């Protein structure tokens, strides 16, 4: 099984350590009671069927955490056939990296001047309203990630406060077409 390193966080399928699956009351990634806790505390280790394991295969490189908004060069659009054209990004965000990883999917990396908490809300609310539902996720003080599915795609998003660019947040979205 493979793990996905998104925004510098190992996330993905079985055998990845800290990735967990919520109990019967699945919670969106922002459902954490307090900022530093895991939204899925007490849950069993995360194990995906092999069909979903392909979403993480070959996607092991960490996000570029050193690119600041001021130096980010916007990537050409549309990003790739493996990435949903309807996927929205938060205000004040520049998508600067697009990587086609074949059957493993497309990884899109962005940096934003929008605050971490606002991006988390955007991903759980606005992105869901655009047709991409969060299936499970976790939130910690400076990072969050979640699996999503919608509009013929599935994948995982991850966000992390930038240590090199104060007040900025790195966003990484892995997407694989499902049909």
Number of structural domains (the chain) is: 1
Domain that holds residue 9: 3-177
Residues 6+ apart with CB under 8 A from 145: 6, 7, 9, 11, 29, 137, 138, 156, 157, 158, 159
* pLDDT tens by residue, the chain, 179 residues: 333 333 333 333 223 333 333 333 334 444 333 333 333 333 333 333 333 333 333 333 446 678 999 999 999 998 988 999 999 999 999 999 999 999 999 999 999 999 999 999 999 999 999 999 999 999 999 999 999 999 999 999 999 999 899 999 999 999 999 97
- pLDDT at res. 63: 63
What's residue 49's pLDDT? Answer: 36
């Amino acid at each position: 099984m493979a793990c996905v390193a998104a925004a510098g966080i190992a996330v993905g399928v079985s055998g990845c350590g800290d990735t967990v699956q919520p109990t019967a009351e699945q919670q969106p990634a922002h459902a954490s009671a307090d900022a530093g806790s895991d939204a899925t505390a007490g849950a069993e280790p995360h194990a995906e069927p092999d069909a979903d394991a392909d979403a993480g295969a070959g996607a092991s490189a960490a996000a570029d955490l050193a690119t600041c908004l001021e130096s980010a060069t916007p990537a050409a659009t549309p990003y790739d056939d493996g990435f949903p054209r309807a996927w929205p990004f938060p205000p004040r965000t520049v998508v600067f990296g697009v990587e086609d990883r074949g059957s493993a999917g497309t990884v899109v990396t962005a940096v934003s001047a929008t605050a971490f908490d606002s991006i988390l809300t955007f991903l759980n609310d606005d992105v869901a309203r655009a047709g991409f539902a969060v299936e499970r996720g976790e939130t910690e003080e400076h990072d969050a990630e979640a699996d999503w599915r919608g509009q013929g795609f599935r994948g995982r998003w991850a966000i992390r406060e930038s240590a090199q660019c104060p007040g900025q947040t790195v966003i990484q979205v892995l997407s694989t077409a499902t049909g």
